[in-house]
Amino acid sequence: MSTRRCPRCQTTYQAPARYCVKDGSPLVDVEPTASFGPPKLPGAPAGPEGDPGAQRGAEAEDLSLTPEELDRYSTLSGKLLDRRYQVGRRLGEGGMSYVYRAQDTESHRPVAVKILLPRLSRDPAAVERLRREAGIAMRFDHPNVCPILRLGEADRILYLVMPYLEGEPLSEHETKRGPISVAEGIPLLLQMCRGLAQAHELGIVHRDLKPENVMLVPDGTTDDGEPLYRAVVMDFGLAKERRAGPEVAKLTATGIVLGTPEFMSPEQIRGKPLDGRSDVYALGVLAFEMFTGQLPFPGKSAQETMIARLRGSPAKLRDLRPELPAKLDAVIQRCLIIDPAERFQNMDELDHAFDSVVATGVFGRLFRR
């Protein structure tokens, strides 16, 4: 029986457990292989006590598959999907989908195929969200954003096709190596800023930015032989167009909390209208964790961390790692201001701020501008 681990709190479980009972995160295998990466658990409405983590756990239980469904959707390996995609090994699963590696028999390229779980495929709202995800991601054309190549349906199976990315999620990279150096981290943050900037230019807010949704793809080495990575922002399944019409508003009505509690902006926790500054906040949380291995707002539960973000002040980066540049600490602190009007107002501003932290000297060799 395989062992699985929560990427957020590191608690381990035995299969067939799929979600962490502490924070609702989808579990990953203890010895993951380099792959497209496990899909995220989609956002859920806040429960009666206002704890999205508890609601996500309830959702996972309600959406458990029957033995027949489990056999069909978890054993697609070796089959030809839609007379085009030769399905290979399963890469992961989440609250919304299974993800497989496959071969496109027309282009002869490897792809990742995300298959919507059957209970959700019968839910019009879930199907609409999937179609929105495809419509959004098909508009991307940026090396730091993962596009969707196709939305298809075959034999009552809804699926998405994406490029297959060799690499690993940022969350797994952090787990293996611990806190990341400034030399490695700043280039990755710059790339995330630039990918998200394109999304914001299209009027799209990611809403669920976190290490699990960032893939690190090997991208050569430095002059000293150190590996370089390309950061690719993935999984816009919770993304929302700022100019969304009423059909989208029904899916994400004001007061319904979507996203991952530890990375939500204060306005997202409150269910307020969001813009790109919410992603600025989430990227600040991600950066803090990337450099320290900890979250800027500690708490024993997702609800406690949410309350801390509404009432308290974030921890200081240099209190945990005094050797880090003071300017980097200041940039992250500004990302984490409660009032969006006082943060960086867009990804271009944040890009320039990160770029100015260590643009020369020993760090400069690792930069990909």
The counts of H helices and E strands in the chain are: 13, 14
| DSSP state letter for 240 | E
208 is catalytic: yes
Contact 195, 271 (CB under 8 A): no
Give the residue from 63, 51, 5, 56 showing the smallest Cα distance to 31.
5
Active-site residue, from 23, 51, 208, 329: 208
The alpha carbons of the chain give a radius of gyration, in whole angstroms, of 20
- 122: Cβ–Cβ under 8 A, 6 or more apart, which residues? none
Contact 235, 40 (CB under 8 A): yes
| DSSP state letter for 102 | E
Give the residue from 140, 306, 290 showing the smallest Cα distance to 212.
290
Q: Which residues are designated catalytic? A: 208
